[in-house]
């Protein structure tokens, strides 16, 4: 059981901040943002459900008729929105597709509160992925060209993979993905409407 997902992310973030990958204080904004989220987001063990916890595009197979979800090694109890948050970040980037995912999962038309909570949980999954991937580099920092230390946006990362600037399966692409995920977390905190989403979650 994953249990306290935000708490687990906080522990990973602390390890990263103490590693040689980052200079002192470089991840302070991430820790502060995570603290803001934890202060308003309830994470009750009684509300946890079985989750895949990693439904990224590489773990989804579709032949035009059937859909398979593979690679269940991270499967555990978690918040009902975690899998949807990961899916919506990669495969349902419009509000209409987000509505379809939420209505299918919960059997009702999503309201403002559900959309707000999804937005917050989606940021948690960004931070989770960034911490998990970069943790693999804490004992052996990557020897990468300086240009690859620039963090991509999610769209820029996908474009870099598509045009061959980043090669799937390499150390370089994993490091770039981790950096992109941390940047996406900060960008999400600063995005218009996020403060209002946090307030809605707090009221809920």
Q: What percent of the chain has pLDDT over 70?
A: 94
Q: Give 57's DSSP letter.
A: G
Alpha helix (H) residue ranges in 74-111:
82-90, 95-106
Mean pLDDT of all residues in 56-61? 89
Tell me the average pLDDT of the chain: 89
122 Cβ contact partners less than 8 Å away, ≥ 6 residues apart: 85, 86, 88, 89, 188
What is the DSSP code string of 121-135? HHHHHHHHHHHHHHH
- Containing structural domain, residue 15: 5-203
Q: Is the pLDDT of residue 146 over 50?
A: no
Give 68-119 pLDDT, tens digit per residue. Answer: 999 999 999 999 999 999 998 888 878 899 999 999 999 999 999 999 999 9
pLDDT of the residue at 204? 76
Where residue 193 falls among pLDDT bands split at 50, 70, 90? very high
E-only strand ranges, the chain: 49-51, 60-62, 67-69, 76-78
Q: What percent of the chain has pLDDT over 90?
A: 61
pLDDT of the residue at 143? 64
Angle between helices 112-135 and 95-106 (to 10 degrees): 100
Give 155-186 pLDDT, tens digit per residue. Answer: 888 888 899 988 888 888 899 999 999 999 99
Where residue 57 falls among pLDDT bands split at 50, 70, 90? confident
Mean pLDDT of all residues in 136-146? 68
Question: Tell me, what CATH number does 13's domain have?
Answer: 3.90.1200.10
Domain count, the chain: 1
């Amino acid at each position: 059981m994953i249990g306290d997902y935000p708490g687990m992310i906080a522990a990973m973030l602390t390890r990263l901040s103490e590693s040689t990958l980052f200079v002192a204080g470089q991840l302070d904004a991430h820790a502060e943002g995570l603290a803001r989220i934890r202060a308003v987001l309830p994470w009750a063990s009684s509300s946890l459900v079985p989750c895949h916890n990693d439904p990224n595009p590489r773990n989804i197979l579709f032949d035009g008729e059937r859909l398979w979800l593979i690679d269940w090694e991270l499967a555990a109890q978690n918040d009902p929105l975690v899998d949807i948050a990961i899916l919506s970040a990669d495969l349902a980037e419009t509000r209409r597709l987000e509505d379809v995912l939420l209505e299918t999962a919960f059997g009702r038309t999503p309201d403002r509160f559900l959309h707000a909570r999804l937005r917050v949980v989606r940021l948690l999954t960004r931070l989770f992925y960034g911490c998990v991937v970069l943790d693999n580099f804490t004992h052996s920092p990557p020897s990468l060209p300086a240009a690859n230390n620039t963090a991509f946006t999610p769209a820029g990362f996908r474009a870099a993979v598509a045009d061959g600037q980043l090669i799937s399966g390499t150390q370089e692409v994993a490091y770039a993905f981790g950096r992109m995920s941390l940047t996406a977390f900060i960008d999400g905190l600063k995005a218009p409407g996020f403060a209002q989403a946090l307030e809605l979650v707090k009221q809920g």
